[in-house]
Amino acid sequence: MTARKIVPMFSPYLAPRCAERAAEVLRSPMIGQGQLVDDFEAAIKRVLKLPHLVAVNAASSVIRLALSINSVGPGDEVVTTPMTCTLTNHPILEQFATPVFADIQPDTGNIDPTDVERRITPRTKAILCTHWGGTPCDLDELNAIARRHGIPVVEDASEAFGATYRSRSIGLHSRFVAFSFQAIQIITAAEGGALALQSGSDEGQARRRRWYGIDRVGRRPNVLGYYDFDVATVGFGYHLTNVAAAIGIENLATLPEQQAHRRRIANTYWSGLAHVAGLSLLRRCDDREPAYPFFTVLVEQRDEFCRKLHAAGVQVSIVHARNDEYSVFGGRRDLPRLDYFSREYIGLPLHMGMTVDDAAHVVETIRSGW
């Protein structure tokens, strides 16, 4: 009897030379932050055509860096999305500020710009958005609102590496953009993140704050062999290591291959799941190309749907729960469109560890009913 194949919800993808490159670094005298981190940053900027970028140890660190550079602190508010991983919103609390949750668009899962503007007050210091499932938010609208109120947009693009909005890479549209290189992201460094910026001034601040407020470029050693410098700003231990950068460099080279494969699987879902009773596809926007870390659908009788898929060997997941349900953020808010979305959405697997035939199996299982 043939064993049933399991299609996991997520599967880390590592380029063939990742282990060898990491081992080379471990045998070297420089396993912490060094030249390979600079090389990784340069490679990301080249691939995405970004002007400025600083690599760090995690995506949550990226967001806190952005908030810190923007002087978000006690008494301030950040208008943000509740439909995201908690990594997006914990940095607001770490800066002793208050997250103000805006409602979402029920046909994308992304924050609703109209509701964002309604929630802005004199205490608002930033707008924080997440590209749900790798599909970019309405960035022109969000940045127009931000300009009217003199505040920046911070994008959590953890799931949107390689995505585009109006023919330009994510990372080019807002003052601060956070990428993630966590284990199951499209480009992984085992763990890590990067902050894309539009100005050299912000980049300089990010570099100093990444390493405890120390200017590692401008400092000079004295005759005692120690660096004589001042620390003038708050900083963190957010630096990336050469070990992680080596893995990231190897994986970054696979981005075109990954994009092509993920689009093939996504297209199998888009075409195969159209007009299925009890299931709705999200809105497909012609002016943006998603990154496709997973594929979201809205389904009736979600528990029964999940049981049917699991019985067929297909793992599915909500991926992230609405953050306003967690007591650390103050508890559930009155967000009617999020109420609908959070009742019905489910993520389908979409990764390099599955084939188009696997995606067809998912489609056939769903089309047979639940």
Same domain, yes or no: 229 and 277: no
Terminal Cα distance for the chain, rounded: 25
Predicted model pTM: 0.95
On whether residue 9 sits in a domain, the answer given is no
Q: What is the CATH number of the domain that holds 58?
A: 3.40.640.10
Last residue of a domain, one of 191, 225, 252: 252
On whether residue 8 sits in a domain, the answer given is no
For residue range 103-127, what is the model confidence (pLDDT) as tens digits?
999 999 999 999 999 999 999 999 9
What pLDDT, on the 0 to 100 scale, is given for residue 2?
Answer: 53
Reply yes or no on whether the pLDDT at 151 is more than 50.
yes
Instruction: Take residue 222 and report the two structure tokens written for it.
Output: 């004295």
Same domain, yes or no: 231 and 343: no
Interacting residues of 344 by C-beta distance below 8 A, sequence separation 6+: 280, 298, 299, 300, 302
Same domain, yes or no: 274 and 223: no
Q: Count Cβ atoms within 10 A of the Cβ of residue 27 and give its class: 0-12 exposed, 13-18 middle, 19 or more buried.
A: exposed
Nearest alpha-carbon partner for 141 in 133, 126, 153: 153
Residue 7 per-residue DSSP state: B
Instruction: Take residue 92 and report the two structure tokens written for it.
Output: 């607001």
Interacting residues of 144 by C-beta distance below 8 A, sequence separation 6+: none
Tally of structural domains, the chain = 2
On whether residue 5 sits in a domain, the answer given is no
On whether residue 3 sits in a domain, the answer given is no
Mapped onto helix, strand or coil, the DSSP state of residue 279 is: strand
Same domain, yes or no: 323 and 177: no
Same domain, yes or no: 282 and 246: no
What pLDDT, on the 0 to 100 scale, is given for residue 24?
Answer: 96
Q: What is the CATH number of the domain that holds 297?
A: 3.90.1150.10
Same domain, yes or no: 310 and 235: no
For residue range 314-346, what is the model confidence (pLDDT) as tens digits?
999 999 999 999 999 998 889 999 999 999 999
Same domain, yes or no: 174 and 208: yes
For residue range 275-314, what is the model confidence (pLDDT) as tens digits?
999 999 999 999 999 999 999 999 999 999 999 999 999 9
Same domain, yes or no: 221 and 274: no
Q: Which structural domain, as residue segments, surrounds residue 38?
A: 18-252
Same domain, yes or no: 198 and 263: no
Cα 360 from Cα 362, distance rounded (Å): 5
Same domain, yes or no: 84 and 213: yes
Last residue of a domain, one of 208, 235, 252: 252
Nearest alpha-carbon partner for 361 in 265, 258, 283: 265
Please report how many Cα atoms fall inside a 13 Å half-sphere around the Cα of residue 275, on the Cβ side: 1
Same domain, yes or no: 285 and 166: no
Same domain, yes or no: 265 and 245: no
Instruction: Take residue 328 and report the two structure tokens written for it.
Output: 């650390």
Last residue of a domain, one of 237, 252, 267: 252
* Rg, C-alpha atoms of the chain: 21
At residue 58, what is the residue type? A
For residue range 40-68, what is the model confidence (pLDDT) as tens digits?
999 999 999 999 999 999 999 999 999 99
What pLDDT, on the 0 to 100 scale, is given for residue 219?
Answer: 66
